[in-house]
Amino acid sequence: MYFNDNIIVLLRRHFRERDRMVSAYSLNHGRIVLRFPGVNKEASKLKAFSEPFVNSEVRIYFRTNASIGCATGGNLTSVYPNLRKNVRKTNLALHFCELMHRLTPEQSPNPNKFYLLENSLTELNNFKFNEAAAPAFLLRLMQLSGFGVAEKPLLNIPADFWTALHKDDLHNLAFNTAEEIIYLNKARYVCKRFLNKYLTYPLNTINELDLTIPLKEIGHNTQQEKQALTVLEEVLQPV
């Protein structure tokens, strides 16, 4: 079966002498595994298509009942050149891609997840680096995956701040005051607890969710913070 689909490459590895295997998130088929034959040859026209966080429309062939497809041609949509000129942006883009690879089921279509990744990479490419983008991306991916915390501000984070993390454009998430940094660290903590609960081994990408202030130092009411922390295990459950 042949079909065209828009894909964003999440990760790649060499396969045999001249091929590459990639994990990609596609618009119409969800996360899929594709073989790019012969792309390690110098004259290969599809080499760029198999690089991480490249967005393209690809012609794909799947044999009946096969779990791995074969890319046979396509058109580039974007390689996000500005991401590749900045180390922090590159790390964050790879972080987005690894989250998509680790937290999405194979061949389970969800166009909203594709658009989340596409829009996040576009914003990261077009605007300056934003530290709030990492927790905001994961919170939105959690919401699309059925974990439903958008309507439940955690750790006494104000509702408007929590809503902004879930809905505002990433480049507009500028948090500069002491209180806003505290709330952002709390959001990072929620994300880390979620990842620790649902990942069987740590992320390989540079972790953009590290706290800039230890959580134990940011609570004004220690007992209130302890009570809030006890509900995380219950809240972070699939709906």
The answer to whether position 100 is within a domain reads: no
Positive or negative torsion for Cα 138, 141, 146, 152: positive
The answer to whether position 91 is within a domain reads: no
- Is the distance from CB of 199 to CB of 122 less than 8 angstroms? no
**Quick one: pLDDT at residue 223?**
56
**Quick one: pLDDT at residue 212?**
47
Of 236, 186, 195, 194, whose CA–CA distance to 216 is shortest? Answer: 186
How many domains does the chain fold into?
Answer: 2
Q: What is the CATH number of the domain that holds 69?
A: 2.40.50.140
The answer on 224 and 134 residing in a single domain is yes
Cα angle 201, 205, 208 (rounded to 5 degrees) comes to 105
Give pLDDT < 50 ranges for the chain.
Answer: 211-220, 228-229, 231-233, 235, 238-239
- What digits encode the pLDDT tens for the residues 67-114? 899 999 999 999 999 999 998 899 999 999 999 999 999 999 999 999
Which tokens sit at 185?
A: 């660290």
Range of the domain at 221: 130-235
**Quick one: pLDDT at residue 174?**
87
**Quick one: pLDDT at residue 203?**
87
**Quick one: pLDDT at residue 94?**
94
- What digits encode the pLDDT tens for the residues 2-20? 999 999 999 998 888 889 9
**Quick one: pLDDT at residue 36?**
94
Which of the listed residues 24, 48, 81 is the one where a domain comes to its end?
Answer: 81
- Is the distance from CB of 138 to CB of 209 less than 8 angstroms? yes
The answer to whether position 158 is within a domain reads: yes
**Quick one: pLDDT at residue 29?**
95
The answer on 53 and 141 residing in a single domain is no
